[in-house]
């Protein structure tokens, strides 16, 4: 979904996801049952930086974002994760998560509106599966919805199979080197302020599920280094940012399969899939309205997660300080603010996330 929405190469995203996961497991001594996949948090800044400067420069921003993880890993090593989280309270990170998802809402509606029949049936199947399904299906409603939507599109004759027929069975994805621009870096890299907090939350939640203190052994420092290195390496060869998936924790809780070796097997499988252009081409044939129906839910769920963090942390909305912080973040983030700053011959722009929809 991330490469489809941002224009990055699907095969590269798959291969670097697998490599990043294996690298993460090596750094964390093979003790964390996590899988690293493409981060949705970076979609909006990648789109914006790509439109303004090109995807090469957007990937350069991702490389720097991954390096910033090392800074936070060092802080965590010295002061501990609890100290780090104190400087990123949920009253700040919660609204940022909401802004990230809501700026993508027009993208979802634009894709869905191209064929409301396909998009709404896909959406309905996802909702129905999430609410009424049991067992494993309840964990993968998006996959079920996309499958039903695709089959409906096949029945209605709305699939263009030419990408599949033209693609080879075996081949190397279109790896590409990044380029670096301070302006693009300032658009993409700051997202790490949110994803680092998300990462720590994922590790703590995973610790509760597997009944092991992963925050202590192998430690948050190692998991942050692993996540950051996987992100930088992915972008260096043309892929999106990687992240530890929160959904993975739900799968662990459901299946009771906590052996990290399973994740490494999945990583190898993903790499092999990325080396089969026909399978990557298959994802290109998924009609945009079907994807639109799915991302309506996905982007909305991300916003809901942001709201839930505010509720779970019991943010006191009766305090003017909290209300003002949230209000400023929402207005600047969703209002499309662009603040130019010139230092000598260098001009950079502080850009609200919503500006990526307008650019």
Q: Return the percentage of the chain with pLDDT > 70, whole number.
A: 92
Phi, psi values for residue 36, rounded to 5°: -100, 120
Non-local CB neighbours of 256 within 8 Å, separated by 6+ positions: none
Q: Would you place residue 346 in the very low, low, confident or very high pLDDT band (cuts 50, 70, 90)?
A: low
Q: Which of 56-70, 97-111, 151-165, 218-232 has the lowest mean pLDDT?
A: 97-111
Strands 346-351 and 338-343, how do they pair?
A: antiparallel
Question: Is the predicted pLDDT of residue 140 greater than 90, yes or no?
Answer: no
Nearest alpha carbon to residue 65 among 207, 198, 185: 185
Q: Whole-angstrom Cα distance, residue 264 to residue 260?
A: 7
User: Where is 10: in which H helix or E strand?
Assistant: helix 10-27
- Does the model's pTM come out above 0.85? no
pLDDT for residue 266:
92
The per-residue pLDDT for range 257-286, each reduced to its tens digit, is 888 999 999 999 999 999 999 988 888 889
């Amino acid at each position: 979904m991330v490469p489809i929405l941002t224009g990055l190469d699907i095969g590269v995203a798959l291969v670097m996801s697998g490599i990043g996961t294996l690298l993460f497991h090596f750094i964390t001594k093979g003790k964390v049952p996590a899988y690293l996949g493409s981060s949705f948090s970076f979609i909006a800044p990648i789109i914006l930086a790509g439109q303004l400067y090109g995807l090469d420069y957007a990937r350069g921003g991702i490389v720097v974002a991954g390096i910033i993880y090392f800074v936070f890993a060092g802080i965590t090593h010295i002061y501990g994760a609890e100290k780090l989280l104190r400087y990123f309270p949920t009253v700040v990170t919660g609204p940022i998560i909401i802004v990230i998802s809501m700026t993508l809402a027009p993208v979802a509606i634009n894709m869905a509106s191209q064929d409301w029949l396909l998009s709404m049936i896909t959406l309905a199947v996802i909702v129905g599966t999430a609410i009424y399904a049991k067992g494993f299906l309840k964990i993968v409603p998006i996959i079920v919805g996309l499958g039903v939507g695709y089959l409906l599109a096949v029945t209605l004759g709305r699939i263009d199979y030419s990408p599949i027929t033209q693609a080879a069975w075996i081949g190397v994805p279109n790896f590409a080197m990044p380029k670096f621009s301070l302006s693009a870096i300032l658009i993409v890299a700051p997202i790490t302020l949110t994803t680092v907090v998300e990462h720590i939350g994922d590790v703590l939640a995973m610790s509760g599920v597997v009944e092991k203190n992963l925050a202590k052994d192998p430690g948050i420092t190692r998991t942050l280094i692993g996540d950051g290195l996987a992100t930088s390496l992915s972008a260096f060869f043309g892929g999106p940012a990687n992240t530890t998936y929160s959904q993975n924790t739900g799968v662990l809780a459901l299946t009771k399969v906590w052996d990290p070796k399973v994740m490494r097997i999945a990583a190898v499988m993903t790499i092999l899939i990325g080396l089969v252009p026909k399978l990557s081409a298959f994802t290109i044939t998924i009609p945009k309205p079907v994807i639109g129906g799915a991302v309506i839910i996905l982007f909305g769920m991300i916003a809901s997660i942001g709201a839930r963090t505010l509720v779970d942390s019991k943010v006191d909305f009766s305090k003017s300080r909290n209300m003002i912080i949230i209000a400023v973040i929402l207005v600047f983030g969703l209002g499309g603010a662009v603040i130019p700053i010139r230092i000598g011959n260098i001009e950079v722009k502080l850009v609200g996330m919503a500006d990526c929809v307008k650019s």
